[in-house]
């Protein structure tokens, strides 16, 4: 491990030196590439340096025990070792976690799709609650939200809502939100006070870049029509809504949130690319039989991942059996308390898989 850590520290220093050159800003693409690489290493380097420092101190203390006859020096060396060895073990475990290869998609922006499931109007309201939750979380992270397409309902909420989130490590955090979210509460329309269970599904797609997916114009069928609002009423007098069909895959994407047909077309293409990219990733994962899929970060999109229970004020994530009695805070956008344990569980699972295959 020490050799690997030294290589990482050397690479980090090389990146730092190159980024300090005054002419680096003339090549924006190179600058962005270097800063991304540096950011990936900057969490490891201080831990690596501390780990090497502790190793050196341990070796020094052991040398004293082996070569010194002075009882006072030996006692001091033993005391030092009793402090240093647990610290060394702790740093080693931390480094093992940090050295797990990261998902190359973690730094990408995301496209999220929330769809009402079982539960009728109540499911639509819950889909709206989830959208508000992610919107508030995005604000706390300094991320930008851009609406792609939505089907709002007269009672409130959405039958479907698609939006993009742009910002640092957006996919790396939000990928854990993919799956079925279940809510247990008394609906607004319920007069007898009976608790209902409804659901909404969340899809989280890494935004595809030009190098990820190449779409040919001949493979697209593009239709335009007038956009409509809740209840089907027309909200636009021009044919600004766009429907794109990808003929080879049969995928259909619609976008009507913008007044401009050109903007709707661009957004629909972005969603289509993201869906095709996700399909490509799934196919690659299926081919890699030796690679065990993590049930924390991917798993089955139809799997129930979380329950929001209003009468008890609790939220339970079923993947890691985590229950928090902080429903209002979580729906208010404070989902870091769920995401962080999921990230740790994911890394632990990957470390275990690497250890088993080693």
Average pLDDT over residues 165-190: 91
Selected residue with higher pLDDT from 158 and 289: 158
Tokens 């899809």 belong to which residue?
203
Neighbours of 293 (CB within 10 A): 13
Distances (CA, A) of 236 to 75, 150, 156, 225, 260: 84, 15, 20, 10, 10
Report pLDDT digits (tens) over 1-29. 788 899 999 999 999 999 999 898 888 88
Pick from 18, 17, 13: which is nearest to 30 by CA?
Answer: 18
Q: How many CB atoms lie within 10 A of CB 223?
A: 12
How many angstroms separate the Cα of 100 from the Cα of each of 89, 91, 94, 235?
17, 15, 10, 50
The pLDDT assigned to 309 comes to: 97
Structure token pair of residue 45: 């380097």
pLDDT tens, position by position, 216-255: 889 999 999 877 665 445 455 567 899 999 999 999 999 9
207: tokens are 């935004």
SS3 162: strand
Q: Given pLDDT bands bounded at 50, 70 and 90, which one contains residue 57?
A: very high
Count the neighbouring beta carbons within 10 Å of the beta carbon of residue 190.
Answer: 12
Q: Which domains does the chain have, with CATH numbers?
A: 2-98 (1.20.58), 110-211+295-351 (3.30.70.1660), 217-287 (3.30.160.20)
Among 32-46, 166-180, 297-311, whose mean pLDDT is lowest?
Answer: 297-311
Query: Of 151-165, 263-277, 289-303, where does mean pLDDT reach its minimum?
Result: 289-303
- Note the pLDDT of residue 193: 81
Euclidean distance between CA atoms 135 and 194, whole angstroms: 30
Among 40-54, 128-142, 291-305, the minimum mean pLDDT is found in 291-305
What pLDDT is attached to residue 281?
82
Rounded to 5°, the CA angle 130-136-137 comes to 90
87: pLDDT confidence band, cut at 50, 70 and 90? very high
Which pLDDT tens digit goes with each residue over 324-355? 999 999 999 999 999 999 998 988 888 777 76
Average pLDDT over residues 255-268: 88
Mean of pLDDT values over 82-103: 89
**Which pLDDT value is given to residue 27?**
87
CA distance linking residue 9 with residue 1, whole number of Å: 12
50: burial class by Cβ within 10 Å (0-12, 13-18, 19+)? middle
Strands (E) across 31-157 are located at: 110-116, 144-152
The answer on pLDDT for 298 being more than 50 is no
Alpha carbons within 13 angstroms on the beta-carbon side of residue 111 total 22
**pLDDT reported for residue 348:** 85
Average pLDDT over residues 54-77: 91
- The pairing of strands 179-185 and 304-309 is parallel
Tokens matching residue 340: 């962080």
């Amino acid at each position: 491990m020490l050799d690997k850590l030294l290589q990482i520290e050397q690479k980090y220093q090389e990146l730092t030196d190159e980024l300090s050159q005054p002419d680096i800003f003339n090549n924006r693409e190179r600058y962005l590439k270097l800063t991304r690489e540096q950011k990936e290493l900057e969490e490891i380097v201080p831990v690596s340096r501390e780990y090497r420092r502790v190793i050196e101190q341990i070796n020094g203390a052991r040398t004293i025990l082996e070569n010194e006859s002075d009882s006072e020096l030996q006692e001091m060396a033993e005391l030092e070792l009793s402090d240093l060895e647990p610290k060394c073990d702790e740093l080693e475990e931390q480094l093992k976690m940090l050295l797990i290869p990261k998902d190359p998609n973690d730094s990408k922006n995301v496209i999220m799709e929330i769809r009402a499931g079982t539960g009728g109007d109540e499911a639509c309201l819950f889909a709206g609650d989830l959208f508000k939750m992610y919107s508030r979380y995005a604000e706390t992270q300094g991320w930008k939200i851009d609406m792609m397409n939505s089907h709002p309902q007269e009672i409130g909420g959405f039958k479907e809502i698609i939006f993009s989130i742009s910002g640092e490590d957006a996919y790396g955090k939000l990928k854990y939100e993919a799956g079925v979210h279940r809510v247990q509460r008394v609906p607004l329309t319920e007069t007898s006070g009976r608790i209902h269970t409804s659901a909404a599904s969340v899809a989280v797609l890494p935004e595809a870049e030009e190098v990820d997916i190449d779409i040919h114009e001949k493979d697209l069928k593009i239709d335009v029509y007038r956009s409509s609002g809740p209840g089907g009423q027309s909200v636009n007098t021009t044919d600004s809504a766009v429907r794109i069909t990808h003929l080879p895959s049969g995928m259909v994407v619609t976008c009507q949130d913008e007044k401009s047909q050109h903007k709707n077309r661009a957004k629909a293409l972005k969603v289509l690319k993201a869906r095709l990219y996700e399909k490509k990733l799934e196919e690659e994962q299926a081919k890699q039989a030796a690679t065990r899929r993590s049930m924390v970060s991917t798993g089955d999109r139809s799997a129930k991942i979380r329950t929001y229970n209003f009468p008890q004020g609790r939220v339970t994530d079923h993947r890691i059996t985590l229950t928090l009695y902080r429903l209002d805070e979580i729906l208010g956008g404070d989902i870091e308390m769920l995401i962080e344990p999921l990230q740790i569980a994911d890394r632990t699972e990957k470390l275990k898989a690497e250890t088993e295959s080693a």
